[in-house]
Structure 1
Amino acid sequence: MDRYLIVGLGNPGKSYDKTRHNIGFRALQELARKHGLEFRKRADFKGSVAEGQIGTAPVLLLMPLTFMNESGEAVAQIVRYYQIDLSRLLVLTDDVALPLGQLRMKINSGSGGHNGLKSIEDHLQTNRYARLRIGVGDREEGDLTSHVLGRFSEVEEKLIPGVLERAVQSVEIWLDKGITSAMDFANVRI
C-alpha cells in the first residue's frame, strides 16, 4: 500500500504547547481531529503516529517526539520502515519569514535556516519532498529563539483557528489533487 506521510514539526512537552515553533504540531493535530485519527506514541519511530485514511488516501501522520533539531531522525526511521516514496511526504512547519497566517507550499526547496527541516534533509540526504510553511510572523525586536519559542499574543491566537483550517485544506488538496493544486490554493497572499 502506497501511504502518504504527513509530518508536523514541533517540540515535545507541555511547556512548548501553543508556541510559534509548534504550529506544525497544531496543524497536524487539527487534521487528525477532523478525520477522526488518533495518535499513539511509538518509541520505534521516536514520535506519535496516527494511521488511517483521509478521503481515499492511506496516511500516516507523525509528530516527532525528538526536539525540533533532531526531527530528521524520526522522519527517516518511518520513511525507511514504510518505504515511503518522498513524493508522498509533506512536512508542516513554522516560518518566521512569512506573516502570521500566510501559507507557502513548496517542493524541492532548502531548509531556509529552519533547524527541523535541516535535520530532515540531513537524515534523508535530500530536499526532494514537499513542505507547507505556516507563517508565524517575525519578531519586532529581540532574539529569534525567544520569538519562536514564545506564544502568540491574545490577538494573534484568535486568528490561529482560521490559519489551521487553511493549512488542513491545503493538505487535503495535496492528498486529493496533487502538489500543483495544493500550491495554487496555499500560496495565495492574504
Structure 2
Amino acid sequence: MSKISLIVGLGNPGVEYAQTRHNAGFWFVEQLADRYNITLKKDPKFHGFSGRGQIEGHDVRLLIPTTFMNRSGQSVVPFSKFYQISPEAILIAHDELDMDPGVIRLKTGGGHGGHNGLRDIVPHIGANFHRLRIGIGHPGSKDRVSGHVLGKAPQNEQTLMEDAIYHALSNTRLLVDGQIAQAMNQINAYKPK
C-alpha cells in the first residue's frame, strides 16, 4: 500500500468562509501543518497554499487550494501531476454531509458522493485516492444544504468536529507509513464523546 505523500484539505478561500462547515478539510491540514511545523506558503502556480516537511520521518507535501470548492481540481490536479504523486499516495480531507458532527471516516476510492470538491478532482486523477471524511451533519432538506455547508456550526457541533479531527491527527503516523488498513481501523472506530 502506498505511503501518503500529499495531504490536501478542501474548503473555500476567504475570511468569510474560514469558520464554515465546508472548510473542515482546511482545518485538518492547517492543524497538521501546525503540529509538524510545516509552513504553508502562497503558491500561485498551483492556486493554493502549499508546504513540505517531515511528518513522522516521511517527506510529505500539504496543499490547501485557494480556488472555490467546485474548482478544487484546478489546484490538486496540476500539483499532483507536477510532483508525480500517484492518486494512491494522496489523502484528501473534506466535509461530509451524510455523517453527523463528531463522526470521522477514512476510506479509499469511490465516487464523489455529490461533493463538489471531489466532483472536480475525480475525472482528472481517478478515484483511487484516500479520503478523510469529516462529518458536518445534514440539515434534513436538500433545499437547505447550501446554507448549511456555508454556515458556521453551533459551538457544541464545532467541538465535536474538532475532537474528531484531533483523533485523526493522532493517527498520522499510520497514514504516512502506508498502514492504511490500520489507520482506517483506528480512525473509523472513533466515537464522539
TM-score range, shorter chain: over 0.9
Q: Are the counterparts in 2 of residues 3 and 84 from structure 1 also a CA contact under 8 Å?
A: no
Query: Following TM superposition, by how much is the alpha carbon of 1:86 offset from its aligned partner in structure 2, in angstroms?
Result: 1.7
Segments of 4+ moved more than 4 angstroms: none
Residue in structure 2 matched with residue 183 of structure 1 by the alignment: 184
Residue in structure 2 matched with residue 49 of structure 1 by the alignment: 50
Structure 1 unaligned blocks of 5 or more:
none
Give, in whole Å, the separation in 1 of the partners of 2:178 and 2:65. 27
**C-alpha offsets along residues 124-148 of structure 1, whole Å, 9 cap, x if unaligned?**
2x10111110101111455101000
SS of 2:153 mapped into structure 1: coil
How many pairs align? 188
Give, in whole Å, the separation in 1 of the partners of 2:163 and 2:4. 28
Q: Are the counterparts in 2 of residues 12 and 65 from structure 1 also a CA contact under 8 Å?
A: yes
Q: Are the counterparts in 2 of residues 32 and 38 from structure 1 also a CA contact under 8 Å?
A: yes
Structure 1 residues 20-169: aligned runs within 5 Å: 20-124=21-125, 126-141=126-141, 143-169=144-170
SS of 2:120 mapped into structure 1: helix
Q: Which 10-residue stretch deviates more, 171-180 or 85-94?
A: 171-180
Give, in whole Å, the separation in 1 of the partners of 2:136 and 2:4. 29
TM-score (structure 1 length as normaliser): 0.93
What percentage of aligned pairs have identical amino acids? 37
TM-score (structure 2 length as normaliser): 0.92
**C-alpha offsets along residues 18-68 of structure 1, whole Å, 9 cap, x if unaligned?**
111000000110011011111000000110001111011111000000000
Aligned CA distance change for structure 1 residues 129 and 177 (closer, same or farther; 3 Å): closer
**C-alpha offsets along residues 71-115 of structure 1, whole Å, 9 cap, x if unaligned?**
011111111110002211000000010111111111111111101
SS of 2:80 mapped into structure 1: helix
**Amino acid corresponding to residue 128 of structure 1 in structure 2:** N
User: RMSD between aligned alpha carbons?
Assistant: 1.6
